Chain A
Amino acid sequence: MMTYFKEIATGLWSLLAGMAVTIRYFVKPVVTVQYPRQKIEMSPRYRGYPQFIIDPDTKTHRCIACEMCSRMCPSQLIAVEGAKFPGEKQKRGTKYIHEHYYCSLCGLCVEVCPTTALEFSKEYRLVGLSRQDAVIDHLILLQERQKAAGLPVTPIPTAEEIVAAAAAEAKEKEAKAKAAAAAAAAAKKAAPAEETAKAPEAPAKEVKE
């Protein structure tokens, strides 16, 4: 008889304990994310598609168009072009196309970059109706991000500008080669010991022009 009532009491208690659990969950905040309307913060190690880092000093990208990423890429889906513009010390990326549809997010491009110009984005909501939608032009993407962040937008060099820059560079190179040749010729002609000191000065002047 006692076990009968004990069973009822323990049974009732277990039911109440169960109800306490569910009501606790009932008042807890929900974990569901309303997918298209809400965005979640991705963890710092999340690998989205690679993108340019916006340099905190220059407010633009750091790509020098060395093409290391494009060579390193196992799927060969990065196309980089660059040009040296007059008055600049280094080459600068003028085109950076990333065909994301083949990308395995291995991250070799990010690791290999000598100027750490690339990082993984935190974007996870990718959708497209054609393969072309998965082709990312990093310079355009950079412009969009700069606009969103309220920074000055880095202009994308036009074809004419690139041609002009290439011509300027070619001219420069030619001048440099000429100067070098002249210097070499001069060095050959002149007395070898004294003239060598002068030789590097001449091309340096030409470069400055």
Chain B
Amino acid sequence: MELLAQYLGTEVGRMLIGLVGVIALVSVNALFLIWVERKVSAHMQVRLGPMEVGPHGAIQSVADALKLMGKELITPEEVDKPIFWLAPIVVFLPVLLSFLVIPFSQSLIIKDMNVGIILILGFSTLAVLAILMAGWSSNNKYSVLGAIRSVAQNVAYEIPLLITVMSIILMVGSFKLSDIVAAQSGYWYILVQPLAFLLFITCATAETNRAPFDLPEAESELVAGFHTEYSGMRFAVFFLAEYTNMFIAAAVGTVLFLGGWHGPILPGVVWFLLKVYALIFLMMWFRWTFPRVRFDQLITFAWKILIPLAFANLLITALVMKLR
């Protein structure tokens, strides 16, 4: 107890508590989001969705998670074993790291780094590496096709994403996420940067590998893409990472455009989470509305529309900031 108290005040204690909190948040969030996704998709198709386990099927995903834990971890014979084994860990690691810098409220932030936004963008790119590892090591044509698509897609959407974020950074003058939120105390940046918001949400959808940009998974053409050969808890970890990536993308969107923790009456954390889940709902809404784009369409869209628009937005922002 004394040892714990000794550490509590220090950076290490803060990190430790943060890590426990983050792991709890990640798992609860993923279970909740899977349920929400199924409910949203069901109601958009005039169905009910899960109804049996718990009230309105609320703990259906808990039951599914338990089932996945009980399943055998199958390792096919021809796979590249170390990489196959490592991929789920690599996909989950950056997810945990990104939570370090997300400001849930003015005080609820594990470590307010001055390179916060760069850290998130940098580590979220690691997910692509994990997908490539999973796809390549599976020794399966569908998996490797999914992995190839993921890498090409990554090159296409990372550039407009970074340029879009840059225009916000220009306005704030800081990479620190708490500074970005603090700068929006008067008005949200979505009001002055609507085009940037559109570009960001498009790129974020692509980054989280969600429809209409879910080419690496593409269940109707590539079986399950990069995680075809994964089973049990390894598959569950990919799933967990996908939904946590959604949360992170929505959290970054909230910080950059929706004013983070700012809001009347309710405490900051509640406002932050409300905005995050509203953005996640928007992404789910995308998924159940738009058909999957073809590969060449995605690349054309990214290079011919997203990147020029992002550059134009950056230029105009820079011009306005200079003239003001």
Contact = CB atoms under 8 A, between A and B. Distances in A.
Interface string B186-226: 00000000000010000000000000000000000000000
Nearest to A21: B289
B296 to A, nearest CB: 16
Interface string A14-46: 010011011101111011101000000000000
B48 A8 contact: no
What is the size category of the interface that chain A forms with chain B?
10 to 19
Given A8-B305, A15-B290, A18-B290, A23 B285 contact: yes
B46 interface: yes
Interface string B36-51: 0000101111111001
Interface residues of B, number: 17
B311 interface: no
Contacts of B48: 30, 32, 34
Contact of A25 (B46, B286, B290, B309): B46
A163 B43 CA distance: 63
Interface string B300-324: 0000010001000000000000000
A198 to B, nearest CB: 80
Contacts of A21: 289
A7 to B, nearest CB: 8
Given A15-B290, A34-B51, A22 B46 contact: no
Given A8-B305, A26-B40, A19 B47 contact: no
A80 B279 CA distance: 69
B239 interface: no
Given A8-B305, A34-B51, A28 B46 contact: yes
Nearest to A23: B285
A9 to B, nearest CB: 11
A27 B51 CA distance: 18
B288 A22 contact: yes
B297 to A, nearest CB: 11
A32 B44 CA distance: 12
Contacts of A32: 46-48
Contacts of B51: 34
B37 to A, nearest CB: 13
Contacts of B288: 22
B289 to A, nearest CB: 4
Interface string B20-57: 00000000000000000000101111111001000000
A22 B47 contact: no
Contacts of A19: 285-286, 289
A21 B290 CA distance: 11
A30 B47 contact: yes
Nearest to B301: A11
What are the 9 A-B residue pairs with the smallest beta carbon separation, nearest first? A22-B289, A32-B48, A18-B289, A22-B44, A26-B44, A26-B43, A31-B46, A19-B289, A30-B48
Interface of A: 8, 12, 15, 18-19, 21-23, 25-28, 30-32, 34
Given A8-B305, A23-B285, 10 more contacts: A18-B290, A19-B285, A19-B286, A25-B43, A28-B46, A30-B43, A30-B48, A32-B47, A32-B48, A34-B48
Interface of B: 40, 42-48, 51, 198, 285-286, 288-290, 305, 309
